[in-house]
Amino acid sequence: MFDKLRSAFSNAAKSLGEKELNEKDIEDILFELEISLMESDVATEVIDSIKSDLKEKLIGSKVDKNEIEKFVKDSLISSISSLFDAAGEYDLFEKINEKKKDGQPFLILFVGINGTGKTTSLAKVAHLLKEKKYSVVIAAADTFRAGAIEQLREHTNRLNLKLVAQNYNSDPAAVARDAVLYAKSHKTDVVLIDTAGRMQTSENLMQQIAKITKVVNPDMKIFVGDSLAGNDTVNQAREFHEHVKFDGSILTKSDADARGGAALSIVKVTSTPVLYVGVGQEYPDLKPFDKELFLETVFGSLDNVDIAKTEPTPEPEPTPEPEPTPEPEPTPEPEPTPEPTPEPEPTPEPEPTPEPEPTPEPEPTPEPEPTPEPEPTPEPEPTPEPEPTPEPEPTPEPEPTPEPEPTPEPEPTPEPEPTPEPEPTPEPEPTPEPEPKVSSDDPFDGITDDEIATYSDLFDVPPPENDNEALKLGNKIRQWIKDGKQKPGESKVENDVEDEADDEEEIQKHDKEEPKKKKGRFGFLKR
C-alpha cells in the first residue's frame, strides 16, 4: 500500500525543509493516500475518517524533510490501529464457560451471503471447539440450498459430531429449535447453527434470519465475509448488522488477500471485531485475527515503527522555550509580595487544633441510639389488628359457593374423550409411515412441524424441558387441532383441572408401557 505514496513524500520533502506543515504542504500526500486506500478496498467513509485523523496530526507539526515519510507512516499506522482498538475484543471460550456453569448450551448463529464459505467456516469452528474439549451439535438450518445438508453431514462424519437435520424446504427456525432441545437434553456445550446464504438486498430472507434469531435467541452471531469481495463485503456486513446485530466476523480466503481493506472497513462500519481469518481449506486453517500481524502484512515490518511517536506534535513545544521574550515576566516579581501573604498562612498551622476532632470519636455515644430500639413500642400498632373487624369480609368467602362448580367435575363423563385419544393414535399411524424415523412413542406423533411452530408462536410456548412436559404439550396441540386451530382470542373455555387430569393419565399410560422405547422426535422418552 505504501509504495505509491513514496513519490508524494519525495516531492513534499524537496519543498518543505524543516518547517511547520500546513494543509497545502500535505495536499499531495493525502491525495495519494486516498488513491492507495481505495485500491485496497477500504470503504469511502473509512478513508475520510483516516484522512481527517491524519490531517489533524500533520498540520502544525514541525518535521524534518528527511523524516516526513516515517512520520506520516507512523501516524497512519497509529490511526488504523486505533480503529481496531475501538472495536474491542470477544473472548469466545470465556462466554462458553459462563453458559456451561449455568448448565445451558451456548448457541452460535452463522450468517452471510451465498458462496462466502459459511458452512466450511462453521466446520472449522466446530473442529476448534472439539480441540478445546467442548461437546458440539450442529443444526442444518440451510434447508434451501441443494446439497447443504449432505455437505454438513460429511463434515460431521469426519469430525464425529452430532447433526440435527430435517427435510429440504423445512422451517429453518424449527430445525434450529430441535437442535437446541437436543443440546439441553444431552447436556451439550455448544450448538452451531448453519443458515442459507442470502443477498443483503433480499428483505424477505433477511426477515427470515431475524425470525430464527427470535425463536432460538442465539448467544452469539457471526458474519462470514469474503476477503476478496472488496468493498461489497463492507456493504454486506452493514446490511446484516442492521438486521441481526452480529457480534463479530470471520473473513475467509485471507491467505489470498494482502490488501486488508475489507477487515479494516468492516471493523469501522460495524464497530465489531474480526474474530478469525480463514487461511486455507483444512480444518486447522482458521486463525485468530492478530492486529499486529495485519498491520505488518499491509505496511511491512513494524520494527522501526513506534505508534507512540505519532504524537511528535509536542516536539514543537520546545520552540516556546525561546519565548522568554515575555521578559515582562519579571513583573511577576511583585508576586513575592503575595509570598509574605502566605507567611500568615502559618496562622492556619493552628489547624492542628482540628486534631482534637478525634473528640468526635465520642460520637459512638450515638450508640445509645439503640435506645430507638424501643421504637418497637410502635408495635402496639397491632391495635390496628382490631381492623380485622373488616374480616367480616370473609363473608364473601361464601363465594366458595361457586366452588360447587366442581360439580362440573362429574363432567368426567367427558372422560370418554380419552377413548377418542386412542383414536388420534391410529390417525397419526398412517402419517409416520412416510416418516419411518418417527416412532409411535413420540409425544408429537401425528403433529407436523408447522403445527408445532404455529402453536408455539400463537401461545408463546417455550420448548419442553423433559418427557412429561413434552407429553403435556403434545396433548394440548392435539386438542387445539381438534378445536379447529383457534387463535388465543377465539379459544374455547376449558377446565384446567380436566386438562391436568388428562395429561396425568397420558403420562401414566406411557409409564406403564414396555421399558425399552425408541427415541422421540425431540430426544425424549428414551429409557
Annotated binding site for GTP: 112-119, 194-198, 252-255
- Cβ-proximal residues to 239 (8 Å cutoff; 6+ apart), any chain: 200, 201, 206
**Cα pseudo-dihedral 128, 133, 135, 138, rounded to 10:** 10
Dmax (CA) of the chain: 111
Query: What region does 24 belong to: left with phi over 0, alpha with psi -120 to 50, or beta?
Result: alpha
Cα distance between residue 56 and residue 493, in whole Å: 71
The amino acid that residue 282 corresponds to is E
Phi then psi for residue 423, to 5 deg, are: -60, -45
Cell of 15: 519543498
Closest by Cα among 262, 100, 269 to 191: 100
Strand blocks (E) in 358-489: none
Cα distance between residue 43 and residue 261, in whole Å: 8
Sequence length of the chain is: 527
Which burial class, exposed, middle or buried, applies to 28 when counting CB atoms under 10 A from its CB (0-12, 13-18, 19+)?
Answer: middle
Phi then psi for residue 370, to 5 deg, are: -50, -20
Phi then psi for residue 255, to 5 deg, are: -70, -15
Cα distance between residue 373 and residue 108, in whole Å: 57
Cα distance between residue 418 and residue 160, in whole Å: 44
**63, β-bridge pairs:** 19
Closest by Cα among 452, 496, 480 to 173: 452
Q: Which residues participate in the annotated binding site?
A: 112-119, 194-198, 252-255
Cα distance between residue 19 and residue 276, in whole Å: 44
